[in-house]
Amino acid sequence: MDAVTLPDVLRQFTFNGTATLETEDADVRYFVNEYWTSGQRKGHNLHEISYRACFKPQLPEFFIDRLTRPGDTVYDPFAGRGTTPLQAALMGCRPAGNDINPLSEMLVRPRLEPVSLHAVAKRLQSIGPSKSADTDDELTVFFHPETLGRIRAIRAWLLERAATGTIDAIDRWIRMVALNRLTGHSPGFFSVYTLPPNQAASLTAQRKINEKRGQTPPKRDVDAVILKKSRGLLSDGSPREHPPALFMTGPADRTPELADSSVDLVVTSPPFLDIVDYEGDNWLRCWFAGIDPRTVKIDRHRGVADWEAFVRRVFLELARVVRPDGWVAFEVGEVRGGKILLERHVIDAIAGLPFAVSGVMVNQQSFTKTANCWGVGNNSAGTNSNRIVLARRL
């Protein structure tokens, strides 16, 4: 930023006449307000895919709007479903992302360069006829045999095209949509009623769900489900013109594809200790995509000291790739009922590195928050606040 610093922007921010609360605790400055509200949380329809532990598009939008110009590079080293890169593209910036899970690129790239609904329909028609799956196929715990037969036919087509190097943008779009329609708890998914789409039940757990509910998997029209979801994703149009995207698959502390001082803004959220089982949540998606989840070494840290060391390694790499006066917005949410304030451990991890911490921004939702900014209390369980460490590259 030029004349006004980010702390000044936060101090001047008001929501419905409510000024930002600024306070200090243990030498950490907090800025607390409702920076984006529940009524404003719906973003562009291209964002509407499910992934565990993802933040809303209004979070990166807030920082991209205030800290970048069109053409600047906006990067997320833990891209997940790609909220930050996609929002960057929607705002005319260069999207850059990285994730150690190959699923991430499969979810992100197709939405940066959407294809037409007509092209999707035509490609689905070209995929060969499906055979009904054997009734003893273990996946029939989720899917009707005819539904599973079609899923397997589309999967085989995509895996063959990927193996032969003939996979194209239309195939990648179909794969992305199918990965998000595999299982869920409505007729808009391929499966019988199960867990929400960001978590896949185990085979054993699904058998128990079926028994408890007295349900059997109904027949679904797989192609129709893919087309309906595609129609929804495409309903707001494509991203505006933006510089070519860069997406990497690998550890966040080793990103040689990114040039020194090439990033203007980082908006990200790392894995929070051991609270999310990405491998377990995504086992069925990995099966469909041909990924062995055992080979994806997602960081999971049970101890705060190990997590802090992991964050420091990431910031060492960010010190290389973020330009002088560039910004990092590092979201750590709220874990273990506020008993562990991860933002403090991020600040400790940054100590001695070429970053100046401007403070911690807390997006406090009025319908869930009840207390002060440090150790903010909840009146419901789970992570329901955004706590964001703001650091400027020196």
Structure tokens, 380: 């419901």
pLDDT in tens, 293-324: 778 777 677 788 999 999 999 999 999 999 99
| Higher per-residue pLDDT: 281 or 145 | 145
pLDDT in tens, 368-385: 443 444 444 443 444 457
Asked if the model's pLDDT at residue 200 lies above 70, the reply is yes
The SS3 assignment for 298 reads coil
Confidence of residue 329 (pLDDT cuts 50, 70, 90): very high
351 in the Ramachandran plot: left (φ > 0), alpha (ψ -120 to 50) or beta?
beta
| Angstrom distance (rounded) from CA 160 to CA 153 | 11
Q: Where are the domains positioned within the chain?
A: 6-104+243-278+297-393, 117-234
Asked if the model's pLDDT at residue 212 lies above 70, the reply is yes
Asked if the model's pLDDT at residue 165 lies above 70, the reply is yes
Asked if the model's pLDDT at residue 30 lies above 50, the reply is yes
Asked if the model's pLDDT at residue 42 lies above 90, the reply is no
pTM summary value: 0.92
Q: Residue 40: what pLDDT? A: 46
The SS3 assignment for 329 reads strand
- The total number of residues shown for the chain amounts to 394
Residue type, 334: E
Beta bridge partners of 28: 25
**What average pLDDT score do residues 123-144 get?**
90
Helix (H) or strand (E) holding 273: none
Q: Which fold has domain 6-104+243-278+297-393?
A: Rossmann fold (3.40.50)
**What average pLDDT score do residues 42-53 get?**
88
Q: How many CB atoms lie within 10 A of CB 140?
A: 17
Crossing angle of the two packed helices 102-112 and 83-90, in degrees rounded to 10 = 20
Confidence of residue 29 (pLDDT cuts 50, 70, 90): very high
Phi, psi of 322 (to 5 degrees): -85, 135
pLDDT in tens, 77-113: 999 999 999 999 999 999 999 999 999 999 999 999 9
The SS3 assignment for 159 reads helix
Confidence of residue 133 (pLDDT cuts 50, 70, 90): confident
